[in-house]
Chain A
Amino acid sequence: MPRQVLEDTLTADSIAADTALAASGDPSAFERLYRSHVARVHTLVRRMLDADEADDVTQDVFIRAWQKLSTFRGESAFGTWLHRLAVNVVLARRKRVGVERGRFLTEDGPLDGVTGRRETPELSLDFEEALARLPAGARQVFVLHDVEGYRHDEIARMLGVVPGTSKSQLHHARMALRRHLDR
């Protein structure tokens, strides 16, 4: 067995064992799961929301995971389950604060602030910074589609919009971000 495959198998077995232990109430096992997944969750949350919310919401995701672990059936990898849970927590958060629909774009205007900086090199943004400056709706769709790999119909269901809106938001986001490709 190739070394990488062996390591992946051992890692998967280890995570499966820790998931079972955590589901039975073992905080140490849950800490190991936290350590191995926190970067992925925190990055997703930071990209989907404002950076200053990321720590709090990441905590909420793991506490929610702890509370719901007994419902995890092992039909998907723990990481996949946790990722979906994180997306749900993020979307619930946006919905609760009432900004979800309000920030969806119907025109290009709000993206001008992102695109307009290209002419000023000293103020130029790197890709992640430009992504963070996108309006919430365009940013969410871009992260879910291009970074996380969700389809438009899935995104539309999650965000409560029609697929056409998701496609339009994605195009707006890409058009804005192409000006901030690493040079």
Chain B
Amino acid sequence: MNDQWTNRLSEYLDGELDNEERVALEAHLATCGSCYATLAELRQVVARAQSLADSSPSTDLWPDIRARLTPSRRAAVDRPDRLVRRRFSLTVGQLLAASIVLALLSAGGMWIGLRSTKPTVTANQNVTSPPPDYTLASAGRWRTSTDAAVTELEEALARNQGQLDTATVRVLRQNLAVIDRAIAQAQRALKRDPGSNYLNLHLANTMRQKIELLRRANALAAGQS
């Protein structure tokens, strides 16, 4: 069953052969049982396709969609320049690399951080040097301004994340969760050893990672990569 007409059966079925071809194929069908049977099966396939039923997703997608509906949509619509913005997404490779780096940052940082709860300031300073102007007092001020920046960037991302792929948003949230866990661990360690230069610096670095990730995500969402 692979004669010259077999590959034309679908076109015949869809009425796409010209008159001459159609007459010739019908003459062939009258003598070729194999093509005749195949045509009947193809007809059944088409009928089956048209009877396929729709089915809902296994989980309710609305809560995630609702969370990404931007309230300022109408404002964006009123500005035509924003309508043509492209939707950006990170590649899977970039996202995986970011995850791995963040996981290592968190795990490695905390491993060193927990060791630093012993009174070995000299050893901690060997791991990473604080900036020249770094003091505990300046760390406190820096943290206050950083918290404000993080809040602002998170609010901006909540407004803009509709521009990002769902997959990108999901991995972004996972990465932010990793950073947040690292921040929480550093804060817990600092309660036990508030004077640790290393822990303060580690917390500052982790917060900076978070700000950088939020800034990058906002830039992607706004099309300013």
Q: Which residues of A contact B (CB under 8 A)?
A: 24-25, 27, 30-31, 34-35, 38-40, 42-43, 54-60, 62-63, 66-67, 70-71, 96, 127-128, 142, 146-147, 152, 167-168, 170-171, 174-175, 177-178, 181-182
Known contacts A25-B73, A177-B45: does B16 contact A167 (CB below 8 Å)?
A: yes
Query: Could you tell me if A147 and B56 are in contact, using CB atoms closer than 8 angstroms?
Result: no
Contact B64 A167 (CB under 8 A): no
Chain B contributes a number of interface residues (CB within 8 A of A) equal to 40
How far is the CB of A19 from the nearest CB of chain B, in Å?
15
Q: How far is the CB of B142 from chain A (nearest CB, A)?
A: 36
B52 near A147: Cβ-Cβ < 8 Å: yes
Most A Cβ at <10 Å: residue of B9, B56, B162? B56
What's the dominant secondary structure at chain B's contact region? helix
Complex Cα–Cα for A168 and B14 (A)? 13
A24 and chain B: residue at smallest CB distance? B74
| Interchain CB contact under 8 A, A57 and B166 | yes
Which 7 A/B pairs are nearest by Cβ-Cβ distance?
A146-B49, A178-B41, A171-B10, A56-B166, A43-B54, A39-B54, A59-B166
Which of A128, A142, A147, A174 is the most central at the interface, judged by chain B CB atoms within 10 Å of its CB?
A174
Does B208 sit at the interface, judged by CB under 8 A?
A: no
Tell me which of A30, A58, A181 contacts B61 (CB under 8 A).
Answer: A58
Known: A43-B54, A60-B166. 8 other contacts (CB 8 A): A25-B74, A30-B69, A31-B66, A39-B54, A43-B55, A171-B11, A177-B45, A181-B41
Residues of chain B contacted by A142 (CB below 8 angstroms): 49
CB of B65 within 8 A of CB of A56, answer: no
Interface residues of B (CB under 8 A from A): 7, 9-11, 16, 38, 41-42, 44-46, 48-50, 52, 54-57, 59, 61-62, 64-66, 68-71, 73-74, 76-77, 83, 89, 162, 165-167, 170
The A/B interface has a contact count, at CB < 8 Å, of: 107
**What's the Cα separation between A1 and B54 when bound, in Å?**
28
B65/A63 in contact, CB under 8 A? yes
- Give the CA-CA distance A31 to B65 in the complex, in Å: 9
What's the Cα separation between A152 and B10 when bound, in Å?
12
Chain A residues near B55: list those with CB within 8 A: 39, 42-43
Are B69 and A54 neighbours in the complex by a CB distance under 8 Å? no
The main secondary structure of chain A at its interface with chain B is helix
* CB nearest neighbor in A for B13: A174
B56 touching A42 by the CB < 8 A rule? Answer: yes
**How far apart sit A60 and B64, CA to CA, in the bound complex (Å)?**
10
Contact B49 A178 (CB under 8 A): no
Q: Roughly how many angstroms separate A42 CA and B59 CA in the complex, as a whole number?
A: 11
Q: What residues of chain A lie closer than 8 Å to B44, measured between beta carbons?
A: 178, 181
Contacts of A63 in B (CB 8 A): 65, 68-69, 162, 166
Contact in complex: A67, B61 (CB < 8 Å): no
Is there contact, CB below 8 Å, between A34 and B62?
yes
Kindly state the separation between the CA atoms of A30 and B68 in the bound complex, as whole angstroms. Answer: 13
Return B87 CB to nearest CB of chain A, in Å.
8
Chain A residues with CB under 8 A of B10: 167, 170-171, 174
Please, how many angstroms separate the alpha-carbon atoms of A57 and B64 in the complex? 12
Contacts of B77 in A (CB 8 A): 70
CB-CB < 8 A to A43: which residues of B?
52, 54-55
The residue from B57, B64, B70 contacting A38, defined by CB atoms under 8 A apart: B57
**A182 to B73, Cβ gap below 8 A?**
no
A63 to B164: give the CA distance in the assembly, Å: 10
Q: Which residues of A contact B11 (CB under 8 A)?
A: 167, 171
Contact for A178 among B42, B64, B167, CB less than 8 A: B42
